Amino acid sequence: MTTTAAWDLKVMLEYGQFYLEPGRVEDEDYWDPEDDTEAILLRALGWNGTKYAEPDSAPGIAQGRYTTIVSTPHRDNFDMDLRVEMHDNPPADDSADWQEIFEATVTAGPTGMWYHTPTLDSTHLDIPAGTYRIRISGTDFLRPEWVDDDSIGYADRYRFQLLAETQPIAPIRLKRWDHPESCGHV
């Protein structure tokens, strides 16, 4: 494994979800009818048209054409650690160190990518334009009985590992936190 670039950020998480979208330039439109964020979120939560999937079977991740949404165990974290790594070979398997793991294919636009959460400021990710396999790993989640007004979600952290992609994949959850009664959505 060779990490070609890495950086650490502080991001905000709200409503137990975050979005990844390609960076745009004004005359290009990466929005597509498939990128209806409400519909994508419903798929991530396992909505079948009449009810949500049980927490232990909801996919936790879904995509439109360009937008990826991940549903998280925590509802809010306004000071969340996010590490972003660029790789030129597949990263080492350290799944034992993480509680949640997802993989998907994502697109970085001409101005990189954006990390969003529903109503808070977005964070720019300075990633070269292209298509990538992304591994999204999260850990340090709090159990509901440990959460109070002063500690809601403040321990959790995420890592995005990106590798240039030539064989796109559908989004998939590789590992689920073993405490499905989390204080977020899934």
Q: Tell me the pLDDT tens digit for each residue of 47-86.
A: 988 988 887 788 999 999 889 999 988 777 778 899 999 9
Predicted TM-score (pTM) of the model is 0.87
Domains in the chain: boundaries: 3-175
Query: Which residue's entry shows tokens 């403040």?
Result: 154
Q: Tell me the pLDDT tens digit for each residue of 10-22.
A: 998 888 889 998 8
The C-alpha atoms of residue 151 and residue 142 are separated, in whole angstroms, by 9
3-state secondary structure (DSSP) of residue 40:
helix
The C-alpha atoms of residue 162 and residue 75 are separated, in whole angstroms, by 25
The fold of 3-175 is Substrate Binding Domain Of DNAk; Chain A, domain 1 (2.60.34)
pLDDT score recorded for residue 186: 44
Tens digit of pLDDT at every position of the chain (186 positions)? 578 999 999 998 888 889 998 876 555 555 677 778 889 999 998 998 898 888 778 899 999 988 999 998 877 777 889 999 999 999 999 999 999 999 999 999 988 999 998 888 889 999 999 999 999 999 988 765 555 555 555 678 999 999 999 899 999 999 988 765 544 444
